[in-house]
Structures are given as C-alpha cells and as structure tokens.
Copies of this chain bind each other. A is one copy, B any other.
Amino acid sequence: MEDHALKYDPEESGSKICEVLQILKTKWAFLVLDELLKGPQRFNQLQRNASVIKTQSLTDTLRHLERMGLVNREVFPTVPVTVKYSLTEKGADFQLALKEMERWVDKWGGRNPASAE
C-alpha cells in the first residue's frame, strides 16, 4: 500500500502548495473536510450529505485523511457497528482555507466578472 503518489518532491518543486495538494490528494478531501466542519458524522451521514461522492471514493478519502492526521475515526461496538468521523485539530485548522475559498467563490461567482453574457 504505502504512500504511493509522490511523483514530485514538494521541496524540490519549491512550493508549499504542492505539499498541500499531496496531503489532500483528491478534490474530495476538500469536500469531506468541509462537511465534517459541521460536526462529527457517521459514514452514512457523510454519504447522504455529500452524495456526489461515491462509497468507494468516500472510504478512500476518509482513510487517506485519517492517515494524514486530519480526521479521527472512532468505532463504537454497538449492535450494528457505529463509526464516528470527526476532525482532528490539524483537520479543523484547515477550515480557514476552506472559508477563504468559499468567500472567494461567493464574491467572484463561477464565471468571469464583467462578462455580461
């Protein structure tokens, strides 16, 4: 399994942004983190709230974020197993970046600014 996707070295490329991208790995990470900011959630909740993400991608993303230390996974051995996902301090701290991006998209919309079209 291992870490795999290190096609380039962040240090070498000279950009911290690269490092961020590698930690998050896929775009879904942004979405999952954003979703978990609303509070801890169980797997199915996440799936419903972020329904654009498919089961497999969601698991992958969660596992990855867990390994990167952004997400906590707690298992409760109840009758049907219950699993709670929550943000770690590291994960929660990413919220400022997310909020900034939301502010940005809020301000600039999806398209060109002066495009009357």
Contact = CB atoms under 8 A, between A and B. Distances in A.
Contact of A50 (B13, B51, B96): B13
Nearest to A89: B113
B97 A17 contact: no
Contacts of A106: 16
Contact of A22 (B69, B89, B98, B110): B110
Nearest to A14: B49
18 contacts: A7-B52, A10-B110, A15-B50, A16-B105, A17-B31, A17-B34, A17-B101, A20-B102, A23-B110, A67-B112, A68-B112, A90-B108, A93-B104, A93-B107, A94-B101, A96-B100, A97-B100, A100-B100
